[in-house]
Structure 1
């Protein structure tokens, strides 16, 4: 990585800085599951971290303001029966989080604005359709309530979480899927296994690209211009990055070898600055690059290093950064027992709002509804100004034209006998149901008597009468 050529760029002097110790999050039992996800998700309101737990899968959700030492008894989100593998905040509602697990399900949760006072075990909706563990969960960037999951059954399912129903199921994937990434308007996504495949939902897979020769897992993301940025390994196990034009996969726009290491490089992309941050699992450093239209197209900027290796990483959406300090990115570095926020700042002397650093950025409002997306519509994100900073709204009901499971906790699926229209039932079926109900009542009464008898005996033993 030569620095001999001085290039004019407002991001050339971006520097990273770890926040003060009291602004970090300590005593977090970060998950030890061997899965190449980030284990961390963050938005302007909350930090979520997949943690170790007994008897199933769990993750921790903290308000960003609740820094410092985390009480060992702090309530967790505990609905999964197997280890949680991936989590993702909804881009259109800062209180909605999706998770997926080895228990073959994905779940959607509504997180209250205040700190949890007891474990949260009731998801808004459970998405069941995979036959093996679900390792990837990611929201559509512009359409309301659309969630994509991918599992070790090589199945991709796109869900309407407002009804809990699958919209599109794709099963023509012969290999394990490492990652999936949507483009800016959600018209395409990249599926990464042994190669990178461009997929337009509801149609056959399109172009295929084998960007790296190594056998270890790759990652791929779209840039704002529609190009593809990839990380992977050479045949000699050197880590490398690449930039590709999806209309011409014959030659890379740029291909750069980095180092020799086993850790998968997780790319985090800032579309507003056209910068990418590379965080290797097991590394103690974060490399960052700027992507431009000028050779060599991917420009190395700098490396931020700390002493301890990272277990995972979270990346704050642009609307969550502090514009008063010229902060352009904030990463949340997971260590064994804590999470350290890292700020990326452009050095400027002026206290005024820096228009060139903060173009309008995607806001929390969806650009279209599920039905519009199903009709083949594509919309760019609805942008908001960063002038004056962004204030997250309070927890709100989603505005939908029809009943939506994300608006409130769904009622139980069991119905009382008083809600059944008995007049419409055939006489023989009605008689059978009444007889079954009578038998159940007899069983319940007999069990109640048995329980009372056992409780009486127990009290006698406890009181020392026997």
Structure 2
């Protein structure tokens, strides 16, 4: 009898452990902007944090190996004239970072592998199309150079950053957009909005294909992410301001698959999802704990695993892609927790006695090769991520330089903008219709 009570799962024992003091990043002045973004983005090469700065917005982009106390003169990424609200690393090139700001622009940056001598002020391309602040930036999961931005003008624009031109513009939202999440192959995305609706959008048809009013009845901000199976995981608040999580089938929004009340804290729950293990990590702004759940296809569908607790509250959180993890230590996730003045890695591991590669913990995962070109995606093609094996640890390809293509849609413009002149001075060919080539 007892055997049927204990659920069989290889992730029943996932342990969170904070990095040692010498492996943290100290003296980082995390931004005090009140926007509900994660303030932190991380990939196998770099840690990026939105930091305090006078006169404009600044991003700290550090090599992962630069642990310890930060030199107070360390060069920042400074090009925005207003506070930076959101950042996202390109999944297909670990040196490319996108940022959105209160100055109504999004910018795309190439972060050098070496420590820069002076602050980085020249983006590769400046994306100007929003009339109000840009609060969300999100790269397409499988298409090269495709970036989504969402602004407080309730507009969603999808760009080809290789040419600097907008591909698609959608104005289906009547109010502020809180979050955007692509599905696995980038054919759809879901949004949460201040009008309390959860929407599933088809960008190429420029329409909302499904929506649900008030998946959570409270008026506080919601978050939503697509799962690997195509369901939507949401976090929000009840009418009594209790925090709540939900799982929804977008083909039938009438009833939730699961709706689960959690606690009465008022911090927005940021969900970080690992499609390889189907585990979602919930990090509340201002919480000092990280809760994690496994999503399965049998009741109760969302299984609580455990909670990682610490003494200090988190200002934000970064989530490492699978290829940045240490497979020799059975590490299945790593989160980068922002404190008031530092960033602390937290490793999630599944203890195993064997030293051999654990196939069941590490299925092939999304690699850095894009599956589609922007033109193919725009014409209606879809493709799943190109997978790589983590056996033997992930070895990144050589650093790829952004080559500027000769075709340039902005040639006719006067070269007074910084983004234009910076590229042309390096390459003589104007703004980046860039292709990514291996060097």
Contact kept in structure 1, 2:14 and 2:349, CA below 8 Å: yes
3-state DSSP of counterpart to 1:259: coil
In structure 2, which of residues 200, 208, 222 is the aligned counterpart of residue 198 of structure 1? 200
Unmatched tracts of structure 1, length 5 or more: 416-466
3-state DSSP of counterpart to 2:400: coil
Q: Which residue number in structure 1 is paired with residue 280 of structure 2?
A: 276
Q: Which residue number in structure 2 is paired with residue 254 of structure 1?
A: 258
CA distance in 2, matches of 1:157, 1:86: 15
Q: Which residue number in structure 2 is paired with residue 390 of structure 1?
A: 394
Q: Which residue number in structure 2 is paired with residue 359 of structure 1?
A: 363
CA distance in 1, matches of 2:106, 2:54: 19
Q: Equivalent residues in 2 for 1:31-430 (5 A)?
A: 31-193=31-193, 194-203=196-205, 204-209=207-212, 210-398=214-402, 403=407, 410-411=423-424
Q: Which residue number in structure 1 is paired with residue 435 of structure 2?
A: none
CA distance in 2, matches of 1:121, 1:378: 36
Offset of residue 400 of structure 1: 8.9
CA distance in 2, matches of 1:402, 1:265: 45
3-state DSSP of counterpart to 1:178: strand
Contact kept in structure 2, 1:45 and 1:392, CA below 8 Å: no
Runs of 4+ in structure 1 off by over 4 angstroms are 398-406
Contact kept in structure 1, 2:244 and 2:259, CA below 8 Å: yes
CA distance in 2, matches of 1:325, 1:231: 31
Contact kept in structure 1, 2:204 and 2:380, CA below 8 Å: no
CA distance in 2, matches of 1:400, 1:230: 40
CA distance in 2, matches of 1:21, 1:5: 40
Offset of residue 206 of structure 1: 1.1
3-state DSSP of counterpart to 1:109: strand
CA 1:334 to 1:221, structure 2 compared with 1: closer, same or farther past 3 Å? Answer: same
CA distance in 1, matches of 2:132, 2:256: 35
Offset of residue 402 of structure 1: 6.1
CA distance in 2, matches of 1:162, 1:409: 15
Offset of residue 68 of structure 1: 0.4
CA distance in 2, matches of 1:401, 1:135: 29
3-state DSSP of counterpart to 1:207: strand
Specify which structure has the higher proportion of strand. Answer: 2
Offset of residue 175 of structure 1: 0.8
Offset of residue 83 of structure 1: 0.3
CA distance in 2, matches of 1:355, 1:404: 46
Indicate the larger mover: 350-359 or 171-180.
171-180
TM-score, reference length from structure 1: 0.86
Indicate the larger mover: 78-87 or 5-14.
5-14
TM-score, reference length from structure 2: 0.91
Post-superposition CA distance 1:216-258 (Å, at most 9, x none): 0000001100001000000000001001111111111111100
Q: How many residues align?
A: 410
3-state DSSP of counterpart to 1:206: strand
Indicate the larger mover: 199-208 or 282-291.
199-208
Offset of residue 409 of structure 1: 5.6
Unmatched tracts of structure 2, length 5 or more: 410-418, 429-439
CA distance in 2, matches of 1:198, 1:295: 25
CA distance in 2, matches of 1:324, 1:117: 35
Post-superposition CA distance 1:243-296 (Å, at most 9, x none): 111111111111110000110000000000000000000000000000111110
Contact kept in structure 2, 1:267 and 1:277, CA below 8 Å: yes
Post-superposition CA distance 1:331-386 (Å, at most 9, x none): 00000000000000001010000000000000000001011011110100000000
3-state DSSP of counterpart to 1:22: helix
Contact kept in structure 1, 2:57 and 2:79, CA below 8 Å: yes
User: Rg larger in 1 or in 2?
Assistant: 1
CA distance in 2, matches of 1:66, 1:412: 30
CA distance in 2, matches of 1:247, 1:176: 25
Offset of residue 7 of structure 1: 1.0
CA distance in 2, matches of 1:22, 1:236: 43
CA 1:35 to 1:241, structure 2 compared with 1: closer, same or farther past 3 Å? Answer: same
Offset of residue 118 of structure 1: 1.1
